[in-house]
Amino acid sequence: MSRPAGWRPALCGLLLVAATACVGGGRTGDGPDPHLLVDVERSRSAAGRGVLEVRLRTEAGEPFEVIRLQLLDDRFTVVPPAEKSTPVRAGGVGIVTPIPAGDVVCDAPRGEGPRMAVTVATDAGTADLVVPVSAAGDEVLTDLHADACRRRDLLEAVEVAFGDDWTTTSPATAEGTITLDRGAATEEVVLEAVHGTVIFTLTVLAPVPEVVLTLPEGESHAEVAVEVSAARCDPHALIESKKTYLFPLWVRAGDDEAIFLTVEPTGAARTAFEALLAEGCHLEDAGA
């Protein structure tokens, strides 16, 4: 990579849209003065796992390399910088790289706005910069933080789980229950919807006029009968499924909006699901 001696980039941070505030990294000599644009968004492939996707691009005529990225935001625990070797090409060509967001700090006081620490490698050495996130980017992180804190509160309010009693109805199908058990919640809790995974289909057996299951105010336990089948056994599904046992669902407490969660079978339910996968997909024949 060829870079003029003495060149040090200026950076402008933004989240999803162009930032309104730029921070110059400093520059010596007569070299070019490009801007590194940093787009950050939630990772669709790692939803709920504290991962952000960072899109890097430059308006400059010369490429350079980003070697470290770190989110600095009082609403998230600080994690070590993500070590990178990410070339940023000239001409506005973007490249996406993931970074950890850290755990949410739900009671964090409002401090300095979110920033991105970026280390850029040049022929002259490295430049360490702290880039303020735009107002629009701050709003994205605010929404992410609020969602995560609501999810944490809901997990404390109610436990959603697969029941322990499962009956095998065919090599690929079993019947059991999904349960709601009250925690800190005092109001009505509603399981609005639950879906299957890439491998497993899930069918609610009880009549479902509007919602899957309701835990009425004053009651501590509710359950609904479901059927789970190992429906996709093709090699592509078995190889590509990274969330085989993570069933997506939507739960709300009281009048709050429904929140997306995942439920993973444990104990007897996990044993039953693993048997469905092995027997229904004939994985034992392949030595799985």
Per-residue model confidence as pLDDT tens digits over 82-94: 999 988 887 777 7
Domains 10-148 and 163-286 share a fold: yes
How much is the mean pLDDT over the chain? 79
Per-residue model confidence as pLDDT tens digits over 12-47: 333 332 332 333 333 333 333 347 777 777 766 555
Mean pLDDT of the region 230-236: 73
Q: How far is the C-alpha of 30 from the C-alpha of 18, rounded, in Å?
A: 27
The CATH-assigned architecture of domain 163-286 is: Sandwich (2.60)
Domain 10-148 sits in CATH 2.60.40? yes
Mean pLDDT of the region 152-170: 94
Mean pLDDT of the region 65-69: 90
What's the pTM?
Answer: 0.67
Tokens representing 210?
């509007």
Delimit the domains of the chain by residue range.
10-148, 163-286
Query: Is the dihedral angle over the CA atoms 24, 26, 32, 37 positive or is it negative?
Result: negative
Query: Nearest-CA neighbor of 50 among 77, 80, 69, 16?
Result: 77
Residues 6+ apart with CB under 8 A from 264: 245, 246, 247, 270
Pairwise pLDDT comparison (227 vs 283), residue with the higher score: 227
